[in-house]
Chain A
Amino acid sequence: MKRGRLKIFTFFSQAQKRGQFNFVWIFAILAGGAILVLAIYGAMQTGDVMKLESNTEAGKSISILTDPLQAGFAEGSFGTISFRDNTRINNFCYDGGVGKNDISVSTRSNIGTEWNSPGEPSSIYNKYIFSEDRLEGSDYYVFSKSFDFPYKVADLIFLMSESYCFLNAPNEVEDEIVGLGIKNIEVGECEDIGAERVCFGGGSDCDVIVYGSCSSNCESIYDSGKVVKGSEEMSYVGSLMYGAIFSSEDIYNCNVERLMFRTSKVAKVFSEKVDLMGARGCDSNLKGDLVSWSGMTGNSSSDGLASLRSAGNSLDRKNSREICGVW
């Protein structure tokens, strides 16, 4: 009887253990699998977030790094921004009022798609960054020149990743490029076959052609004119020539509109300054001209630059004749 009970117990016990064994294994596999899947998913998400953070930080860094590279009170400046790996910089320009340049950065990916999604764009309101819509490379060249119209309006920043070859460039352009030691621009005979060919005054086998059209009050025929890039045609004055050469038509026109708005705002500041100076005995007759200049430039675009230039020159001459110059 006792033996019989023992047999029954052993049978139940083995069956139960087998059941427990199966249950434990199934549970362990399910739970382990779930944890593993969650861990992999979490790691991938964390990786994506970290890449986004890194790209966002890089975008913001570009805004900061370009601060000391601005021309400031110098004629121009040049610097290089280098990344460890190939990087894409996207430039979106928004006009309307002060406007802004949104700069976002995406790095190369080793898994899945070739490029990671770009980081959060860094909005830059107080700079005018001229570049192609999307740049690619590990070394970026930053060239800056001030834009005077007729007073200093802002520093223009030209962001490039490619090499350029300037053919038949006028002496002042050549001196500027050579003087600033701009590494990615060759003047005259070019060794880099893959460089973008920029021809001054026309030529054959050119990617970009610069036509100068300045006829009065000019230091050079290229003080104003137009830049032709395939089907794109951009009018320029002064240092905007470089902006037209190095940037896409959309970015160029958008930044010119932003600059014209800024020109108008500065004119308003000057017109108020005239009143304050007058109260101290430093009278000026420029008030009316400045108000008019502010109205002319406020909503202007790149098409009106050439006609505005002559009005600006006239304003500058009047200012230089003043005993207490406004600028």
Chain B
Amino acid sequence: MWSVVVEKRGQMKIMQMAFMIIGVFFFFVLVGLFFLNFMIGDVQSGAYELQKRQAISSLEMIAGMNELSFDSRESMMLDEDKLMVMSGGLGDGYEDFWPVASLRVYKVYPTFSEEKKCPGIDCNYYDIYDSGQVDVVTYSSFVSICKRVKEFGHIYDKCEIGKIVAGVKIRGSEAVNED
């Protein structure tokens, strides 16, 4: 009879120990998951920060590319003819080339209430590249949009104010616009 009592108490201790180990195991699993979540969040924010920095530093570089620039000796000066060409079929094959998720060039003046894609009558923006990503944060910079024209026998460079807008992929629904 005594041995039965002692045996039952021993079993109880083993069960206690087993429960304790399961508890400790789950505790470490939870700690691990929390740490993993923290690290993934850290990596994501790091990646986003790098993308953001790249987009900002890329703006001037993109505007200086000969596929878009009006004069390679001038900074932030875009060629309207090239914008038209690049937003048409010739922009194909450049998908990986752009270091951003989307690239548009807007004509700032006259002001507009409705976006109209160029080429077209009263159009106000050129869609150079769009990766199709939905949640993007955009960064922009003012540029000159120029073209060489011949009027009344004179040749001159006609320029207007524009805005180059680069989009960066972001997480979730943090989409905002920053100038």
Contact = CB atoms under 8 A, between A and B. Distances in A.
Contact of A276 (B14, B17, B35, B85): B85
A277 to B, nearest CB: 6
Given A49-B39, A60-B50, A324 B155 contact: yes
Contact of B10 (A20, A38, A73, A281): A20
A283 B141 CA distance: 32
B133 interface: no
Interface string A224-252: 00000000000000000000000000000
Closest 3 CB pairs of A and B: A67-B57, A152-B72, A281-B150
Contact of A12 (B6, B39, B46, B88): B6
A218 interface: no
Interface of B: 2-3, 6, 9-10, 13-14, 17, 21, 24, 28, 32, 35, 39, 43, 46, 50, 53-54, 57-58, 60-61, 64-67, 72-75, 79, 81-82, 84-86, 88, 90, 93-94, 96-99, 147-151, 155
Interface residues of A, number: 56
B10 A269 contact: no
B32 to A, nearest CB: 7
20 contacts: A5-B2, A12-B3, A16-B10, A23-B14, A53-B46, A63-B99, A67-B58, A67-B60, A72-B64, A97-B93, A125-B99, A126-B65, A146-B72, A152-B66, A266-B67, A276-B84, A280-B148, A281-B150, A282-B150, A324-B150
Nearest to B61: A67
Contacts of B147: 277, 280
Nearest to B62: A126
A282 B149 contact: yes
A68 B90 CA distance: 27
Contacts of A20: 10, 13
A46 interface: yes
A134 interface: no
Interface of A: 5, 8-9, 12-13, 16, 19-20, 23-24, 27, 31, 35, 38-39, 42, 46, 49-50, 53, 57, 60-61, 63-64, 67-68, 70, 72-73, 97-98, 100, 123, 125-126, 146, 151-154, 265-266, 268-269, 272-273, 276-277, 280-282, 323-325, 327
Nearest to A30: B21
Contacts, number: 128
A64 B46 contact: no
Contacts of A327: 66, 72
Contacts of B151: 281
Nearest to A13: B6
Contacts of B13: 20, 23-24
B67 A265 contact: yes
Most buried by B among A9, A72, A126, A324: A126
